[in-house]
Chains A and B, each alone.
Chain A
Amino acid sequence: MHSLILRTGTRLLLALMVLFSLFILWRGHNEPGGGFIGGLIAAVAYSLVALSFGVAEMRRMLPADPKTILGAGLALAIVSGLFAVVGQGGLLADPYMASRWYISYTETGEKGFAIGTPVLFDIGVYLVVIGGILAMVRGLMEEL
């Protein structure tokens, strides 16, 4: 589609939307947001590229093929659940997908930076959503 407005808009929007999607993904644990919504936003951003510049350009801008992104996300989500099974407490001490957290505390005892396996899982969801939707978009544009 040769639309100057769409192309210019997309150029500006792409970076913003991808950054925003990462922000939504990150803040999801405490504020509205999360991997699913974040993934949708990023997928919309790349779909806009595909619509305005063509699917080849979209593929060039993506770090990997949508199928690969999809598989990596699914693998990440599955692996995130394994930490509970093989981690501290011995083998099979906890059920698959029980969460594991690393939390740093400040000297005064306040809670600082925290990261846990649900975050990994959420990143997996994010990638699966991007990969799944972009695989469809790419398929529709290339094969139809």
Chain B
Amino acid sequence: MLAAVLVIFLAAAIAPTLHRLLPAFSHWLLALVPAGVTVWFAQFLGPVSGGETVLQVVPWVPALGVELAFRLDGLSLLFALLVTGIGTFITAYAGGYLHGHEHQGRFYLFLLAFMGSMLGLVLADDVISLFVFWELTSVTSFLLIGFNHEDGRSRRSAVQALVVTSLGGLALLAGLVLMGLVGEGWRLTAMEASGIDFRAHALYLPILVLILLGAFTKSAQVPFHFWLPNAMDAPTPVSAYLHSATMVKAGVYLVARLNPTLGGTEVWTYTLAAFGTVTAVWGGLMALRSTDLKKVLAYTTLMALGTLTMLVGLGTEYALKGFAVFLLAHSLYKGALFMGAGAVDHGTGTRDVNQLSGLWPKMRLTGLFILLASLSMAGLPPFFGFLGKELMYEGMLEAGSTGTFVLVGMVLANATMLGAAGLVFVKPFLGKPSQAAEHAHEGSPSLWIGPAVLASLGLAFGLFGSLPAPLMGAVTSAVAGTAKTVDLHLWHGLTPALGLSAVTVALGAALFLGLRGVTAALGGLARASRVNFDAAWDHVLAGVDALARAVTNLLQAGRLSRYMLLTIAVMFALPGITLLLRGGFAMPKAEGWAEPLGWFLCFLMLLGTFGAMLATSRLAAVTALSISGLAVALFFLAYSAPDVGITQLMVETLTVIIIVLVLAKLPKFGPSERTDAATRLVKLVVAVAAGGVTTAILLSVTAQPLSPHLSDYFAAASYVEAYGRNVVNVIIVDFRGFDTLGEITVVAMAGLGVLALLKARNAPKPEEDAAAPRLDPGKPMTGEAD
């Protein structure tokens, strides 16, 4: 399984080069990679449907017990097949859709990298690797959504998706680490098998909240849903892939995956059912209000994600069966619809349903596949979507009172799907041909082959329910944690679920026929409620910006004296406060206090310091300071540290040389440098405090008996092991050589840094705007109150 993931990443790495060499065939060649991986995974269909689980473990960070562990059970296999199978068609589709785009090779790179990450995510059995793949999908999807990076809206949407999902990602990481602590290991299979009761643990609630934050942001549950419709700024292959079958389902995958360990409690059921139902209804209603084909589909995706979350929450046998079937059904029809919508856009130049009409004669193939997929979305027999909806209703009826609570919402949500199906097929394809339909034309095979296969599968699985049934059983077993089997039949008698389906269809038809009124009512509702998540996002972002600016202005005033003041204040406040709080101050024994040489050198240092303070010219100040520096050097020489003494002497000399170089160019040391009394008082306090803290620390340190351990070791080992009699130098170049390597790197960086700063100062200034290093949030969306 590791090989399968790596092969896709490898394909991503060579994609741009391959595209440069063979621009006409690259998409077909690249599509062979996920196709091969799909076939490879398909061989596991038999064993996994039979209840087997395949495991693969590769040591990764053995010191921390982190492994690269993969697990293939029903749930992983279904997702793996979706990721690679739909990925195959998307890769081919992207070749047709982006034909001639200058960054097509780059697009394949991003797309395949995303595919590899997503595949890793659904296969990972180790929570750490799961998290790493999870974040990789966030990063790669950021690149994909922002693919048209010259468009401000794309950039804004990409940043929005990244920030929302990675905020959730941070919460998820915390939740997974807590889970690992409770479960005494990082492996999910081990946690499931260990018999540890997570639900009774004191950390259950924190774990649940953190993990659900991750899942809800990723799967765009209300109130984190707003990034998903905005992400439709991405090229259509991205929407068809990420926002139908893969990335947004990662959150759903996660809750399903953790259902055996964390699920089944009241908090779990109510949280998931409530958030899921609200998201489903919201998504369905918003879909009816939208006029952009892709937006319609994005909102119906919200509905599907909400439904799936709700079904895991209910957790009854039929609900989980419904989860499995609806998951597959949705991926099939949504992938087909997105690709179909892209083909319409490609053929007519617009995705606005108000401008599209009567496309049927011009785009029969695309129209046919959109029709098949919409019927599945509408949940009409004999399509696979119908089976999903029936099982869903069975599950809700089975769940008793909780089920009744969501039942009303779900009937409405499913009805809106019927309306949305009308929006994506009836409106654009039937009726009198509109202006946009005049030049409509069918695209290349790569544009319709994906929808063809996916939509036909939606019909085939509905007609021959025994085909997908074994895998659906394995998925249900994986989510439930116990073995289950699924039988799929179109007809199973006059049941209450069938009755609910009939109500749904009637309601849906009414919604579509009265669409104008419904849209107006919804618009009025949206205006009245004044809930606009997208605008709220802008406010939050502006607030963060303002805070950052305020902090930056406070800390980085652009004056050297301010930087010094802050740095010194912080540097000495922390140890000073610690010294006070811990009561660590101690006076050393009064030995050697009466040494005249020491006192004389101290006097010299003080002389230099006061001289510098009272100096009226810079040159005088520098000279006075160097008196202090030389006195320090003498100190080292007098107390047998000749190496340090010579170094100090040289540094003093160089300091004077460098200051002299700068001095000549500085403005006069005049009244402008004289500050008011208050500022001087602050500086005085900081200076005295810094000196005091240093003195206190040095006194306390020397009060301790000096451990001879290290110095004895170095003195003894210096000649024997390192062939050097100068212990100081042997420490620098040998015993602690690695430290020195770090230090000389700093010296090198400082030298280059000074050079770069000076050069930048004299470089010709570029345009003011272009130079401003500022994240452009782009233009906020207008119109649609979300």
Chain B interface, >50% SS class: helix
Q: Among the listed B724, B747, B762, which residue makes an inter-chain contact with A30, where contact means beta carbons less than 8 Å apart? A: B724
- The answer to the question of A58 belonging to the interface, with a C-beta cut-off of 8 Å to chain B, is no
Measured between alpha carbons, how far is A81 from B741 in the docked complex, in Å? 10
A137 and B726 within 8 A (CB): no
- The answer to the question of B703 belonging to the interface, with a C-beta cut-off of 8 Å to chain A, is no
- The answer to the question of A63 belonging to the interface, with a C-beta cut-off of 8 Å to chain B, is no
Chain B residues with CB under 8 Å of A142's CB are 758
Report, as a range, how many residues of chain A touch the other chain: 35 or more
Q: Among the listed A30, A47, A121, A135, which residue makes an inter-chain contact with B755, where contact means beta carbons less than 8 Å apart? A: A135
Given contacts A129-B744, A144-B662, contact A137 B722 (CB under 8 A): no
Nearest Cβ on chain A to B647's Cβ, whole angstroms: 5
Nearest Cβ on chain A to B129's Cβ, whole angstroms: 26
Chain A residues with CB under 8 Å of B344's CB are none
Measured between alpha carbons, how far is A48 from B444 in the docked complex, in Å? 75
Chain B residues with CB under 8 Å of A73's CB are 744, 748
Measured between alpha carbons, how far is A77 from B750 in the docked complex, in Å? 17
Chain B residues with CB under 8 Å of A30's CB are 724-726
A118 and B722 within 8 A (CB): yes
- Of A7-15, A85-93, A97-105, the segment with at least 4 beta carbons within 8 Å of chain B is A97-105
A34 and B726 within 8 A (CB): yes
A140 and B650 within 8 A (CB): no
B744 and A125 within 8 A (CB): yes
Interface size on B, residues (CB 8 A): 42
A118 and B726 within 8 A (CB): no
B744 and A99 within 8 A (CB): no
Nearest Cβ on chain B to A64's Cβ, whole angstroms: 14
Interface residues of A in 65-80 (CB under 8 A from B): 66-67, 70-71, 73-74, 77-78
> A15-34: contact bitstring with B at CB < 8 Å (1 yes, 0 no)?
00000000010001111111
B744 and A124 within 8 A (CB): yes
- The answer to the question of B733 belonging to the interface, with a C-beta cut-off of 8 Å to chain A, is yes
Chain B residues with CB under 8 Å of A71's CB are 748
Q: Which one of B646, B651, B725, B729 has the highest number of Cβ atoms from chain A below 10 Å of its Cβ?
A: B729
Q: Among the listed B722, B732, B761, which residue makes an inter-chain contact with A34, where contact means beta carbons less than 8 Å apart? A: B732
- The answer to the question of B466 belonging to the interface, with a C-beta cut-off of 8 Å to chain A, is no
Q: Among the listed B646, B653, B734, B748, which residue makes an inter-chain contact with A131, where contact means beta carbons less than 8 Å apart? A: B748
Q: Among the listed A96, A97, A129, which residue makes an inter-chain contact with B747, where contact means beta carbons less than 8 Å apart? A: A129
> B740-757: contact bitstring with A at CB < 8 Å (1 yes, 0 no)?
110011011011101100
- The answer to the question of A136 belonging to the interface, with a C-beta cut-off of 8 Å to chain B, is yes
Given contacts A70-B748, A97-B741, A131-B748, contact A28 B726 (CB under 8 A): yes
A residues touching B (Cβ–Cβ < 8 Å)? Answer: 24, 28-37, 40-41, 43-44, 47-48, 51, 66-67, 70-71, 73-74, 77-78, 81, 96-97, 99, 101, 103, 114, 116, 118-119, 121-122, 124-125, 128-129, 131-133, 135-144
The 6 closest A-B pairs by CB, nearest first: A132-B751, A40-B650, A143-B758, A135-B751, A29-B724, A32-B642
